Amino acid sequence: MRHSFRHSFVAALACLGLVPPGTAQTVVDHPYDTGVVATHTLHSGPNTAFFDYHDNGGSAANYSNSAVAATSVVTFVAAPGQRIKVTFSAFQTETAFADRLFVYDGADTSALIIPSANAAPGAFSCAALGWDGTLAPNNAGANTLVSSGNSLTFAFCSDSSMNFAGWAARVEVYVPPPPASVPALNDPAIAALALLLALGALAALRRRGSG
- Model pLDDT for residues 24-35, shown as the tens digit of each residue: 589 999 999 999
Would you say 153 and 103 are in contact if contact means Cβ atoms under 8 Å apart?
yes
Selection from 173, 174, 170, 175 nearest residue 27 by Cα: 170
* Local confidence band at 182 (pLDDT 50, 70, 90 cut-offs): low
Q: Is the pLDDT of residue 13 over 50?
A: no
Whole-angstrom Cα distance, residue 124 to residue 128? 11
- Reported as type and span, the H/E element at residue 162 is none
Selection from 70, 72, 54 nearest residue 62 by Cα: 54
Q: Residues 25-44, buried b or exposed e (16+ Cβ, 10 A)?
A: bbebbbbbeeeebeeeebbe
Q: Which residue has the higher pLDDT, 9 or 70?
A: 70
* Local confidence band at 196 (pLDDT 50, 70, 90 cut-offs): confident
Q: What pLDDT is attached to residue 201?
A: 80
Q: What pLDDT is attached to residue 96?
A: 81
Selection from 174, 30, 44, 179 nearest residue 105 by Cα: 174
Q: How far is CA 143 from the centre of its chain?
A: 9
Average predicted confidence (pLDDT) for the chain: 87
Whole-angstrom Cα distance, residue 151 to residue 111? 10
| Residue 100 one-letter amino acid | R
> What is the CB neighbour count within 10 angstroms for residue 144?
16
Q: What angle do CA 63, 64, 66 make, to 5 degrees?
A: 135
